[in-house]
Amino acid sequence: MSDTILSQLPAEYNGELLPSIREEFLKSEKTIVALDDDPTGTQTCYDVTVLSSWTVPLLVAELKLKPSILFILTNSRSLPEKDAVQLALEVGGNLLAASEETGRAIVPISRSDSTLRGHFPAEVNALADAVNMRGAIRILFPAFIEGGRLTIGDVHYIMEQRTLIPVAETSFAQDASFGYRHSDLREWVEEKTKGKTKASEVTSISLEDVRIGGPERVYEKLLKCKAGETVIVNACSKKDIEVFVMGLLTAERKGQKFLCRTSATFVPIRAGLVSGKILVPQKEKVSNGALVVVGSYVPKTTSQLEHLLNKKSHQPIEVNVTELLQPGDHLSYLSSIVQQANKWLSDGKDVVIYTSRRLETGSDADESLVINRLISDFLVSIVKGLTVRPAFIVAKGGITSSDIASKGLASQRALILGQIIPGVPVWKLEEKSKFPGITYVVFPGNVGDATALAEVCEKFKPGPVNVQEGI
């Protein structure tokens, strides 16, 4: 079925667009600011700063540098909707103030984990209010090329072993807090807006529009959109995204305003930049072991963890979530884990700390988020308690990697170095963090095959150094 669907698609648009997009973007003298509800959105960028704090002075300092792209890690996916809305209003308000103070115009983008899991439309609407873009056209762009997420005929798919699976048939759609029933994006919008926006009211940019009509056809359709309208975009290649962005830029010149809710692939292309750099890191010989922390529960993460444990390359420490959720004082439990991890790390042994694999959920979405928060807070407390600096740190899962970076390691700023494997970004944390300048790997729960986690850990062991551009 997958081969049939893909073989029937029109050929990609013929033309080199990325240099023109870059030229147009540089002329605009703007900074793309991606508000990311999950740190895995950085997986397609390199040489870009990511912030986990958003005070006006910090934003002013960054905008004065006139970067093409700036990420702000909000981790709003871990919050109840009302708190996520307040956060979006706060971050957006601070961004607007910083933009006005520096004179640096911004292009806000709402970047969401898997794009379809998160607080939509509430979070996007709050951001629009905060940055004076209430009437902006909402662009929904979930295609994530590096992760095999494609949109064809308005249906969003995940490519698994050369098979296209509609997303509503996957584990992601069963998420306790952000589940959904529809793979057709028009119907998904109606579902998530609780019927306020009907599927028939959603505009679609089709692959025929993109590949046959090109930027001109995209521009024509966007120009006809009304204020506040929702537009979904079909795409299954980076070239498709380039065509859409070129059409969007033309429509912007004619006065249309857009607020995008997107995947990670979209962000660098919006600035006319090549997506990604594969980084083979400098492998310095250190006496301490490395640390892996696994919090994600998706099946792909579990299979990767099982493979790593079967290799017996890491000393295992399981966090018993069932025990953790019982009433009582867990300080002694926490202390025992920290003590054991410190000892093994100082002995030069690699350590993997992971949550027990039974998924614990609440009676409703908010209660499930509370459980997720409790588990994440415990993992953060473990990292806070470490006194031995690991050789490097790998954090598996979006909320896990966000909380450990910002809370466990007290890092407000990091530099995205590139990807250790496609879709897995590597950060260098700031000197003010708990372990100054440490290499930090943000490993999304849904990326890679069963051997990927072990492969990433292996890549940091001493050996030759090489940097390969592109993906």
Confidence of residue 138 (pLDDT cuts 50, 70, 90): very high
In three-state secondary structure terms, 280 is strand
Sign of CA dihedral 243, 249, 251, 257: positive
Q: What are the b/e assignments for 304-314, b being 16+ CB within 10 Å?
A: bbebbbeeebb
In contact, 97 and 56? CB cutoff 8 Å? yes
Token pair for 88:
């979006």
In contact, 325 and 360? CB cutoff 8 Å? yes
- Residues 422-444 have a mean pLDDT of 94
- Residues 186-202 have a mean pLDDT of 98
- The predicted structure's pLDDT at residue 198: 98
68: CB partners within 8 A, 6+ apart: 25, 31, 32, 48, 271, 273
For the chain, first and last CA: distance in Å?
A: 27
Backbone phi and psi for residue 249, each to the nearest 5 degrees, phi listed first: -60, -40
Give per-residue pLDDT as tens, 92-112. 999 999 999 999 999 999 998
CA proximity to 199, closest of 211, 218, 181, 213? 181
In contact, 301 and 451? CB cutoff 8 Å? no
- Residues 59-85 have a mean pLDDT of 95
In contact, 41 and 21? CB cutoff 8 Å? no
Give per-residue pLDDT as tens, 298-338. 888 999 999 999 999 999 999 999 999 888 889 999 999 99
User: pLDDT over 90 for what percent of the chain?
Assistant: 77
- The predicted structure's pLDDT at residue 1: 53
Length of the chain (residues): 471
Token pair for 16:
């080199």
Backbone phi and psi for residue 131, each to the nearest 5 degrees, phi listed first: -105, 20
Q: What is the spatial distance between Cα 40 and Cα 117, in angstroms, rounded to a whole number?
A: 13
Query: Strand pairing partners for 30?
Result: 105
pTM of the model as a whole: 0.89
Helix (H) or strand (E) holding 166: strand 163-166
- The predicted structure's pLDDT at residue 3: 66
Count CB neighbours of 144 within 10 A. Answer: 28
Q: What is the spatial distance between Cα 291 and Cα 438, in angstroms, rounded to a whole number?
A: 12
Confidence of residue 408 (pLDDT cuts 50, 70, 90): very high
103: CB partners within 8 A, 6+ apart: none
In contact, 404 and 426? CB cutoff 8 Å? no
| Mean pLDDT score across all residues of the chain | 92
- The predicted structure's pLDDT at residue 39: 81
- The predicted structure's pLDDT at residue 2: 66
Query: Strand pairing partners for 394?
Result: 292, 441
Give per-residue pLDDT as tens, 13-46. 999 999 999 999 999 999 999 999 888 778 889 9
Strand 48-51 to 155-160 pairing: unpaired
In contact, 379 and 13? CB cutoff 8 Å? no
